[in-house]
């Protein structure tokens, strides 16, 4: 398990844009992580007042950060940054609310040089919330 402090040693994201609290599992082929949503996160303030939900793009960003931890933990990628090149096949199945825990799972399906493709899913209480194919470039 990796703590938030350990995650920040691997990826460059910092609050309020750090969207992973813990990495619960990690392997050469992917990772699993969690984000505990208190309701105090900046995006809940305006999305939507009186009925807050986590924006879909932030679900994908949280998922991508878990993938970045997996990629940037690899010896050849340490100290680098992963940048989106595309997001494909994104689907949003369930709203994510304050007080819930977003669980993220990402599998690295292809790596070639500085390019990587990953399949990811997010869950709340075991229920699929979102999924996407994420492609990225690993640079300095």
Q: Domains in the chain, start-ordered, CATH in brackets?
A: 4-139 (3.10.129.10)
Are 107 and 28 contacting, i.e. CB atoms less than 8 angstroms apart? Answer: no
Please tell me the predicted confidence (pLDDT) of residue 28. Answer: 85
Average pLDDT, the chain: 97
Residue 76, both tokens: 């050849």
Residue 22, both tokens: 């813990």
48: preceding bond cis by omega (within 30 degrees): yes
Which one from 13, 36, 47, 97 is the annotated catalytic residue? Answer: 47
Alpha helix ranges (H) inside 4-44:
4-10
For the chain, what percent of residues have pLDDT higher than 70?
100
C-alpha to C-alpha distance for 135 and 127, rounded to whole angstroms:
24
Confidence of residue 132 (pLDDT cuts 50, 70, 90): very high
Alpha helix ranges (H) inside the chain:
4-10, 56-72
Please tell me the predicted confidence (pLDDT) of residue 15. Answer: 96
Please tell me the predicted confidence (pLDDT) of residue 38. Answer: 97
Please tell me the predicted confidence (pLDDT) of residue 19. Answer: 98
Confidence of residue 140 (pLDDT cuts 50, 70, 90): confident
Angle at 22 between CA 44 and CA 20, to 5 degrees: 35
The yes-or-no answer on residue 13 being catalytic is no
For the residues 33-38, what does the mean pLDDT come to?
98
Per-residue model confidence as pLDDT tens digits over 66-77: 999 999 999 999
C-alpha to C-alpha distance for 53 and 46, rounded to whole angstroms:
9
C-alpha to C-alpha distance for 104 and 62, rounded to whole angstroms:
8
Task: Indicate if the pLDDT at residue 51 is higher than 90.
Answer: yes
- How far CA 50 is from CA of 33, 53, 95, in Å, comes to 28, 10, 15
């Amino acid at each position: 398990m990796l703590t938030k402090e350990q995650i920040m040693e691997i990826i460059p994201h910092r609050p309020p844009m750090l969207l992973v609290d813990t990495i619960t599992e990690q392997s050469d082929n992917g990772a699993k992580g969690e984000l505990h949503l208190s309701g105090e996160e900046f995006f809940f303030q305006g999305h939507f007042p009186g009925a807050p939900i986590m924006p879909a793009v932030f679900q994908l960003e949280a998922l991508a950060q878990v993938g970045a931890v997996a990629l940037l933990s690899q010896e050849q990628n340490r100290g680098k940054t992963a940048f989106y090149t595309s997001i494909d096949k994104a689907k949003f199945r369930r709203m994510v609310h304050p007080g819930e825990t977003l669980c993220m799972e990402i599998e690295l399906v292809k790596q070639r040089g500085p390019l990587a493709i990953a399949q990811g899913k997010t869950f709340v209480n075991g229920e699929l919330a979102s999924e996407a194919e994420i492609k990225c470039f690993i640079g300095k």
